[in-house]
Structure 1
Amino acid sequence: MLPVTLRSPVARLDMPTRADAPAITEACQDAEIARWTTIPTPYGPRDAHAFVDALVGPGWASDREYTWAIRRPSSTWLEGVVAFRPAHRDIGFWLAPAARGHGLMAEAVRLVTGWAFEQGHEDVYWECFVGNRASAAVARRAGFAYTGTGPGLIPGRDGTPVTCWKGLLRADGRSASDLPWPAAALDA
């Protein structure tokens, strides 16, 4: 598939390029991004170039993973990344520290899930490592229903299984679960 740009008054999503490597490298110095994702640590410019060259472009070309840079509408600076993997219909994301707390990530997730539904997907799956309250907050704001806790789709950085909070968002708007979000996943 050719890369698609998604827009709203709050966010613009487009394909990350090598020009975004400095912003990606800077954001990936954040301890919280390193803690809750499987990015290499330490993370350097070579990692950012490998991400763009080996994952982003080939992911779009093969329909394996669609990755977007998250930008504010009037800026070219990459604030974060959101990706959708059609094989498991799952979404993943991270946001740079300076961009947090403004609703940018929840809007990016809504844009991507809306696009996935337009492509014919009946639902979108989300998961995060247990304890990642920020990711859970984004999922809740974007409308995901909590569906339980269990082994994650993606292993931890060391290859071992991780326990994840899980959620599902249906295209038809029906709730995927009546389970309450765990207290540990709720905002303070």
Structure 2
Amino acid sequence: MINKLLFSYIMKLNKKKFGSVGDNSVIPLSMKNIQNPSNIFIGKYVKFGSDMVIYATINSKVIIKDGSIFAPRCKIFTSNHNYDSFDLQSIPYDHINLVEDVVIGEGCWIGDSVIILPGVTIGKGAIVGSGCVVSKDVPNYAVVVGNPMRIVKYRDSSTFDKLLLEEKFNINKNNNKKKFVRRLGKNSD
């Protein structure tokens, strides 16, 4: 009981430093590599994996909408070094950082070790496969993989939108209820 109360108290302290955090969002204590948390806005039912890196700046925001899930080791950046401008003052880059907001739509699933670069918008319902470097916008419902990232398919938008409207987010707090079902396909007996 005491451990549960202590954990609840620490979670509340952890959430206070952000611009906003929606109900039922889980911010793990291992999220220590956060820059300018007051410019990070988190919707409802958002879950972060361990060892996340989120770099907002005083002039840029990270906006994560309801129901998005991040696997471990993801990185989100809103700034990049100036290395190629008419007034470049040093090499390989100068003291100027170029900043752009990052927006992650509702119900996105971001795989392990994904890197999201400045100015990117990941559309509603998108899935980003493990190891992707996301350097351009991802359309709604797209499933993207690889580096460079490429679209391999789209999710069924009508099913997704129905579940989104009903707020049926994956908030499984009890892993004992997880189901493991073998897919039938090329490796089946």
Whichever structure has more helix as a proportion of its residues is 1
The TM-score with structure 1 as length reference comes to 0.27
Higher normalized contact order (CA 8 Å, seq sep 6+, divided by chain length): 1
After TM superposition, the score normalised by the length of structure 2 is 0.27
